Amino acid sequence: MAALPAPTRAAERVALVVELDGAINPVATEFILDSIERAEKQEAACLILELDTPGGLYKSTHVICKAILASRVPFITYVAPAGARATSAGVFITYASHLAAMHPASAIGAAHPVNLGGGQADSTMAEKVENDAVAFIRSLAERHGRNADWAEEAVRKSRSITAAEALKLEVVDLVVEDVPQLIAAINGRKVRMEHGEEEIHSTGAEVIRLEMNWRQRILDHVSDPNVAYVLMTLGMLGMLFELYNPGTLLPGVMGSIFLILAFYGLHTLPINYAGLLLIFVAIVLFILEIKVTSYGMLTIGGIVAMLLGSLMLIDIDPSIEADFLRIRLGVIIPAVAVTALFFGFAITKGILAQRRQPAGGIEGLVGESGVARTAIEPGTEGRVLVHGELWTAESDEPIRAGERVRVLSGEGLRLRVGRG
């Protein structure tokens, strides 16, 4: 019996599309690497990255670029949709791709490396980082025949250009309106792969969009410094609420989870340890407020320390545009205000509780009225009924049985009363 012919490659051909809208971080790196692996397993005609990014971490960018260069499937970066930009790390990824395309209403550039070492780096170190970035992007440009001189200007001078300029300067290979137009335009193009030159066959390919799984989506949001900071604040409040009210459990458990997620989000960021120390000092002051009666002074000090620490927490050169790495003031102020209200409420309740007359025990009976059940003479004891309970009582003045009395003080199980 003759074997049935295998299905044609054209009938099975797929084009995978992944969308990345946000900063380049470890989660984005994992997502892109997973997508490349899936494209290779499916023997896809190509893998298209629809990119809109303000930049990201240099280490993550380097890992992505290496994965693109080693990919066995043609990797195309498409800066889209309208209004998208490939800034900083996005330039490196675009240059590493086998083909680069842009939407007509998009932009690319400003690839000056962000100092993640904290604050103003010394000139020698800054020059080394810049030269390393220039050498890396020039090597990518030369590999794929793109404009290496402009790439160097994008790193050294933070130059940015439009899609039309990028096509004219041979920064990108195509300017197209959408993904279907891109798939049609790349058909028959030859690209340089690690294993040699390969022609793209994309005609009739089924477009399949890949998305982050639920774990990656959660971690991607957590990696936002503003989200991480809010989680850290909520975690701190949860833990402190548990200390104020031992045994409630839920605030402590949720606080622990929030703090772990916050530390995950912050561990890849350029942390200023002085700012982090100030936040820890604020936590210590808040905890001490539980143990020490300072009438709010420790809490005020904690709020000031938290505000200053929050402003200092992310440490990057202020002259560099890297808003995706900064905690917005619009997040810091409400977080500090909520913390202040929380502890202001707790302190107010604490002071009122201290001033309130005890409601239980013998101290709680002082000032209360009752009835003498027996006569009481000075120097002798009698019995009085207060709050439905019989107490042994003594008095400095004679009191008749049945007469109203008022509790003046108490010691042990004996009350001192007077006519009331």
Contacts (Cβ under 8 Å, ≥6 apart) of 213: none
Q: What residue has token string 């049609």?
A: 184
128 catalytically annotated: yes
157 catalytically annotated: no
CB neighbour class for 236 (10 Å; exposed up to 12, middle 13-18, buried from 19): buried
CB neighbour class for 296 (10 Å; exposed up to 12, middle 13-18, buried from 19): middle
Would you state the structure tokens that stand for residue 227, as one six-digit string?
């989200």
Helix (H) / strand (E) element for 415: namely strand 414-419
CB neighbour class for 34 (10 Å; exposed up to 12, middle 13-18, buried from 19): middle
Point out the catalytic residue in the list 128, 157, 168, 190: 128
Q: CA angle, 359 as apex, 357 and 361 as ends, to 5°?
A: 110
Does residue 246 have a cis bond before it (omega within 30 degrees)?
no
How far is residue 69's CA from residue 55's CA, in Å, rounded to a whole number?
20
Point out the catalytic residue in the list 35, 60, 71, 88: 88
How far is residue 105's CA from residue 284's CA, in Å, rounded to a whole number?
51
CA distances to 20, 22, 322 from 29, rounded to whole Å, are: 10, 12, 19
Contacts (Cβ under 8 Å, ≥6 apart) of 140: 65, 92, 95, 96, 146, 151
Question: Three-state DSSP class for 56?
Answer: strand
**Number of Cβ within a 10 Å radius of residue 3:** 5
**Number of Cβ within a 10 Å radius of residue 348:** 11
What is the end-to-end Cα distance of the chain in Å, rounded?
116
**Among all residues, which ones are annotated catalytic?**
88, 128
